[in-house]
Structure 1
């Protein structure tokens, strides 16, 4: 049964993915055009959440954590999330960042020639799809995936990796800068919290980048503001910023 725990689906079983989509898609609120994000991100992201039909890329020192944190509230609200590849993903860490594992699909890394079809089928089936493509995505394939996401109201999230694999920039880029862990003393203690500088930029409403320092997670395991959001000094309205390198992280 798909509703009793996380499901691992071997790629590229597209028929199984389409069947799954017929079962889980009604759980999403199709009329809602914005998927919720942690309140700490509300002042950083235009419209206060992930706009259905959009593309998002996370990068920097905590790329995977950012992607999971952004997806967490949507799964808690009843949406389903699919993770394609990302063999290094830790389910405990995902749960601690708010991801509902009982509504999370883990998809084995598809063969290069089957990657696009697998992701397209998942965009049909669930609300949030996390990917980390290793091969370059052609403009034709990217346009097809973006059109599928817009048609179905899904959100495609690149969780770290190389930004240049895509032919065009995403709608939203969420990048982790400097980060530091707290809790360790001199020869004793344990990692209890991490402060991360987060910058959000992109197109349309996100042309003017904004930056804040977040707990990811905080001492009590929460995602919260450590320092208020503010515009990045020296940036003016204009064309979207050039592509940035997104490197793998935890």
Structure 2
């Protein structure tokens, strides 16, 4: 019968160091690869979105631009911004300062690059090094190679990217659906609030839908506790 190998203290210490090095390398590789099932660090999220989508370091989020998708993208920036994190908005020359501030985005901690031109990818990559969340509207179709390059950088820097528009292999896809306005009365009032359905899809799972006031009567984003009357049905 084979006997166990006996190691002297020096050999045991050397093997222990090697095991620690191997474990460290495995952890680093796993972090860079972003293996499924390994929880990334959660980032602060707007209270109205906290139960809908959790921002995570290294994550990519694609928001459909229809029905005010830009506002939803900015709301995702608002969570980290409200607690002092830096953010950036790239490729959105129509960025609404008042709307962003109303959502909780700190303008004094937000970098704006309205028109990066053909250097949008390099601009986003540089900003990922210094901010927590980047909201970007790419000037055209984003390729798999471009998305992969940024994904590795996001994981390394523990930042998140929110794309206004399609993004290859996005971790989460969001869309604003079926907007309904309230407050018109019998046609003599003013539109005061809008209720929307926000659809959130992770991977191939069916999308989950949540009702939100966006905005409510005080221009805030919050959960909808009761349905609104569609102004098209008001007599």
User: Do they fold alike, i.e. is TM over 0.5?
Assistant: yes
Alpha-carbon RMSD across the aligned residues, in angstroms, is: 1.9
Contact 2:91–2:139 (Cα < 8 Å) also in 1? no
Structure number with bigger Rg: 2
Cα shift readout 1:95-121 (whole Å, capped 9, x = no counterpart) = 112211111111131221x12111100
Q: Distance in 1 between matches of 2:213 and 2:223?
A: 6
Cα shift readout 1:173-207 (whole Å, capped 9, x = no counterpart) = 1111100222224453333211011110023xx83
Contact 1:215–1:223 (Cα < 8 Å) also in 2? yes
Runs of at least 5 residues in structure 1 that lack an aligned partner in the other structure: 1-31, 229-250
1:143 to 148, 162, 173: 148
CA positional deviation for 1:63: 0.5
Match of 1:211 in 2: 209
Q: Distance in 2 between matches of 1:36 and 1:107?
A: 23
Regions of 4+ moved over 6 Å: none
* 3-state SS, counterpart of residue 34 of structure 1: coil
Q: Distance in 2 between matches of 1:145 and 1:139?
A: 10
Matches within 5 A, 1:76-91: 76-91=82-97
1:224 to 222, 225, 229: 222
When normalised by structure 2's length, the TM-score is 0.73
Q: Distance in 2 between matches of 1:195 and 1:138?
A: 34
Match of 1:42 in 2: 50
Match of 2:107 in 1: 101
Contact 2:172–2:200 (Cα < 8 Å) also in 1? yes
Runs of at least 5 residues in structure 2 that lack an aligned partner in the other structure: 1-39, 227-235
Are positions 1:188 and 2:188 aligned together? yes
Matches within 5 A, 1:231-242: none
Match of 2:24 in 1: none
Match of 1:130 in 2: 135
Q: Distance in 2 between matches of 1:109 and 1:71?
A: 19
Are positions 1:200 and 2:200 aligned together? yes
Cα shift readout 1:99-149 (whole Å, capped 9, x = no counterpart) = 11111111131221x121111001111011011112222322211111111
Contact 1:212–1:227 (Cα < 8 Å) also in 2? no
In the alignment of these two chains, the number of paired residues is 186
* 3-state SS, counterpart of residue 40 of structure 1: coil
Cα shift readout 1:2-56 (whole Å, capped 9, x = no counterpart) = xxxxxxxxxxxxxxxxxxxxxxxxxxxxxx91112223222222xxx20110000
1:153 to 133, 151, 158: 158
Q: Distance in 1 between matches of 2:151 and 2:105?
A: 24
Matches within 5 A, 1:158-177: 158-159=163-164, 161=165, 163=166, 166=167, 168-177=168-177
CA positional deviation for 1:85: 1.6
